[in-house]
Amino acid sequence: MIKSKYLICGAGGFIGGHLTSVLTKEGHNVTCVDIKPLEYWFQLFDENKNYSLDLKEYENCIAVTKDVDYIYNMACNMGGMGFIENNKAQCMLSVLINTNLLRASLKNNIKKYFFSSSACVYNRSKQEKNYILGLKEEDAYPADPEDGYGWEKIFSERMCRHFKEDFNLDTRVVRFHNVYGPKGTFDGGREKAPAALCRKIINAKLRKIDEIDVWGDGDQTRSFLYIDDCIAGTKKVFESGYSDVFNIGSEEQVSINEMIAVIEEIAKFKVKKNYLLDKPKGVRGRSSDNSFVSSKIDWKPKYFLKDGLEKTYNWIYDEIISGANIKKYGRE
């Protein structure tokens, strides 16, 4: 394998940490940047160059993009629905990261640039029912995305497109659909539904409590992508010759209630559900249509939801009972 020089922005985060792990094990020269102090990074590898910097600042983007060939931009201010709906301005400020990294890419002659977008860009009018057909890439238009976070993502997608058209910068864009798995946030307000529900059921079991809180009525649906599938799809899009926008998600659409039932089976513990109807819950239904990415680059997920949830549940369980890495991952 030819060794390359990669810059991972957001390397201290969940997806960025897993991507860094893979590229490091492959033997590449990897530079890692995240706004969090190093002790809060989810995964940290001493053999890499690791920097705690704010990439909203153009000077920092110029500095870290020197002497690298390829950029993966995984950096943004985000979390689960509770964070997104209550921090719209903070989410939108991430547009500065992508904009300044694109500018720096031109100045420092970057060969290829990757932007991580989100299913939150999709038109909300197409997600009003509990069960919907999978969203195709063209369903993002006419634009009516998730307020705040979704608008930032769709604007940044357009920036990548126009930097390719106007400046011939080779760009890649994917829309992630609810990525989950071990070595990520499971408490504190930024966690997503799979991790939050695993944590709640684990704590209920450990404390011998037979009830958990559920945001919404439990009938809202999503598809959830296991982290290993996410990384495999991300790398395959990056290494392809296509600059189209691609879904990287699962087509296995389930309701929150159905996911709770799967976790109960894994935990061998049943709970009653206390529905909190005043909590943020997002759109009613969302799932990925992978026909375009499958036809172009022959990628599809390998993990079924139950398999990924079992790995995630076991990891969170071990973290909770051991008290390990409380600063990084959270603990109730």
Evaluate whether the domain defined by 5-179+225-248 bears CATH number 3.40.50.720: yes
The residue-averaged pLDDT of 130-150 equals 96
Mean pLDDT score, 227-244:
98
Pick the range with the lowest mean pLDDT from 48-52, 134-138, 301-305, 320-324: 320-324
What is the structure's pLDDT at 332? 34
- The pLDDT score that the predictor gives to residue 280 is 83
Does position 328 have pLDDT exceeding 60, yes or no? no
Provide the residue type at 72 as one letter: Y
What does the mean pLDDT of the chain come to?
95
Structure tokens at 76: 């943004």
Task: Check residue 242 and give its pLDDT.
Answer: 97
Compute the distance between CA of residue 51 and CA of residue 143 in angstroms, rounded to an integer.
Answer: 36
**149 catalytic residue (yes or no):** yes
Catalytic residue among 149, 180, 226, 313: 149
Quick check: 199 and 320 in contact, CB under 8 A? yes
| Residues in Cβ contact with 110 at an 8 Å cutoff, skipping those fewer than 6 apart | 65, 68, 69, 70, 71, 104, 169
pLDDT given for residue 331 in this prediction: 40
SS (H, E, C) 182-203: CCCCCCCCCCCHHHHHHHHHHH
Q: Out of 202-216, 249-263, 283-297, 317-331, which region has the weakest mean confidence (pLDDT)?
A: 317-331
Local structure of residue 136 (DSSP, 8 states): P
In 202-325 the beta strands, taken as DSSP E runs, fall at 211-215, 221-223, 225-226, 245-248, 253-255, 272-276
Answer yes or no: is pLDDT of 258 > 60. yes
Which CATH architecture group holds 183-222+253-286+304-329? Alpha-Beta Complex (3.90)
For residue 177, name the pLDDT band (cuts at 50, 70, 90). Answer: very high
Entry pTM: 0.94
pLDDT at 273 over 80: yes
User: Where in the chain are the domains?
Assistant: 5-179+225-248, 183-222+253-286+304-329
**Can you tell me the mean pLDDT for 118-137?**
96
Task: Please give the pLDDT value at position 10.
Answer: 98
Are 75 and 96 a contacting pair, CB within 8 Å? no
Q: Which of 20-34, 83-97, 270-284 has the highest mean pLDDT?
A: 20-34
Contact 105, 71 (CB under 8 A): yes
pLDDT of 325 reads 55
Residue 330's pLDDT is what? 47
